[in-house]
Structure formats: C-alpha cells, structure tokens
C-alpha cells in the first residue's frame, strides 16, 4: 500500500531526493498512516518513486536516528513504537531551547516580527481542524526561532519533536486548539512588552500543555507506545516558579 502511495508523492527531480522521501515518510508516521509494527520496503519505495535505493536508504537512516523506524538486519524495516522516555526527553530539551529563544526576542522586541506573529495567530483562530492548526503551529514556532537568529537550533528541535508530534496526532479528540492559540498570544504579548520572565514562563507552560494528556493518550492507544517497566514517571506539568522548572 505504501508503494502505491509513493507513486503519488510527486518528487521533484530538480531537488535533492532524500529530503523529499524523508519528509513524506515522516509525515505518514507522525499522522499514524503508518503504525507501529508496519513494515516498509526500501526496494518497493525506490521502484514506486523511480529512484535508486540509495536516497531511500538515507531517508530510512535519518528516520531511524529520530526513533521513527527500526532497521532490523535480515528482517527488514518497521515503524517503531513511540518511546515514552524519548517523548519526555524531547519535551525537556525543546522547552529549554524555546524558553531561551523567547527570552532573546523579549530582550529587544522587533515590531515587524510581533506583527507577523500576531498575523499568524489570527490565521490560527480561523482554523477549524487540528491538522491545519499543527502546520500553522509549526510555522509559528519556526518564526520565533528564526526571528531570534536561531534557525539552526530549530532544525535540531524538528528532529527532537518527532515523537511529541506523534502523540499530538493521537490526541486529536481532546486537542485544545483554542487554549493553545491563547497561549501563543500570551507568548507574543510577553515578547512585545519586553517581559523576559513572563515570556519564558509562557513558553514553558505552553510546551507542557502539549503533553498534558499523555497518560490518557497512552491508555487509549497502548499498542503505539514503548513503555518502561513499573510506574510511569510523569514530571510533565511540574509547577513553574519564576519561569524555572521546580
């Protein structure tokens, strides 16, 4: 089935092929079109896309590095389960990076950037379905990073948050879009006012909200997760005091 879908990916031969295949597969995994345990074939995708196996192999390797695929010698390649520990680690690292990004922006607020961010928030409020909001959310956070001169750091965040994004898609039924958009607005207001502690705390609270319903998502989709033995550690929504995790 994946090979049939790959024929419609519309790869642009004028652009590097590996990143295109990587993006298509990453989106399919994150959206749960490809579920944990599903097997995917390097050879079949290469044939369907009319490319050599090398760019497909390179895309597989990058996805494996992000924990999205498991490449099993002599047994093929399967979609990985969502690693619980990786989700918590990603949230922790992303929070540290993005809290610093908004602190940089609040130190010297840029009116043009503030206007662009508020225009993005207006578009978010017009969105009615979670998938569209997630694309706009991605653009919002990327704009923050690029505005702070940290576009390279955002590329690192994109890799880190793959597992978080899988959880977000699984939580569509309880996805609090309106609340998340209000949090975006609070982040921008804090940046615009030059209030570094408030911007820092607003971003940390926002990123913790994203995984606030993780226990419920796991309970509803246990087959999607690779869980540690014993009680699950859940330091996701620890209180914030002065913008610093306690």
* Whole-number Å distance between alpha carbons of 246 and 39: 42
Beta strands per DSSP E along the chain: 39-40, 69-72, 76-79, 82-83, 225-226, 240-241, 244-245
The mean of the pLDDT values for the chain is 88
Mean pLDDT, residues 120-135: 90
Question: In the chain, how many H helices and how many E strands?
Answer: 12, 7
3-class secondary structure, 206: helix
Q: Are 192 and 105 in contact (CB under 8 A)?
A: no
Which pLDDT belongs to residue 244? 38
Each residue's pLDDT tens digit, 164-198: 889 988 887 676 889 999 999 999 999 999 999 99
Q: Which residues contact 143 (CB under 8 A, 6 or more apart)?
A: 113, 116, 117, 120
* Whole-number Å distance between alpha carbons of 234 and 246: 14
Query: How many C-beta atoms surround the C-beta of residue 177 within 10 A?
Result: 19
Phi-psi region of 52 (alpha: psi -120 to 50; beta: other; left: phi over 0): beta
3-class secondary structure, 241: strand
Q: What is the pTM of this model?
A: 0.82
List C-alpha distances in Å: 25 to 45, 93, 123, 145, 167: 10, 24, 27, 25, 17
* Whole-number Å distance between alpha carbons of 194 and 104: 10
Walk me through the domains of the chain, giving residue ranges and CATH numbers: 2-80 (1.10.10.10), 83-245 (1.20.120)
**H or E element at residue 135:** helix 130-147
CA dihedral 92, 96, 99, 104 (to 10 degrees): -160
- 224 vs 155: which has the higher pLDDT: 224
Each residue's pLDDT tens digit, 28-53: 999 899 999 999 999 999 999 999 99
Which pLDDT belongs to residue 237? 53
Which pLDDT belongs to residue 211? 76
């Amino acid at each position: 089935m994946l090979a049939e879908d790959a024929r419609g990916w519309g790869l642009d031969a004028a652009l590097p092929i590996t990143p295109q295949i990587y993006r298509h597969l990453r989106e399919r995994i994150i959206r749960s079109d490809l579920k944990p345990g599903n097997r995917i074939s390097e050879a079949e995708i290469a044939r369907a896309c009319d490319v050599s196996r090398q760019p497909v192999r390179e895309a597989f390797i990058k996805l494996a590095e992000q924990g999205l695929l498991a490449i099993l010698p002599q047994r093929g390649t399967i979609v990985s389960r969502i690693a619980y520990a990786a989700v918590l680690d990603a949230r922790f690292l992303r929070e540290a990076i993005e809290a610093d990004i908004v602190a940089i922006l609040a130190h010297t607020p840029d009116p043009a950037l503030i206007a662009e961010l508020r225009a993005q928030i207006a578009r978010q409020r017009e969105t009615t379905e979670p998938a569209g909001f997630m694309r706009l959310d991605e653009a919002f956070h990327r704009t923050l990073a690029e505005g702070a001169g940290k576009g390279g750091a955002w590329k690192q965040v994109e890799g880190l948050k793959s597992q978080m994004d899988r959880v977000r898609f699984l939580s569509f039924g309880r996805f609090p879009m309106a609340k998340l958009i209000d949090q975006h607005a609070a982040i921008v207001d804090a940046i615009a006012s030059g209030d570094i502690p408030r911007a820092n705390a607003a971003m940390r609270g926002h990123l913790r909200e994203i995984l606030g319903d993780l226990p419920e998502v796991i309970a509803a989709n246990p087959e999607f997760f690779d869980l540690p033995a014993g009680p699950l550690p859940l330091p996701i929504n620890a209180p914030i005091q002065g913008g610093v995790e306690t």
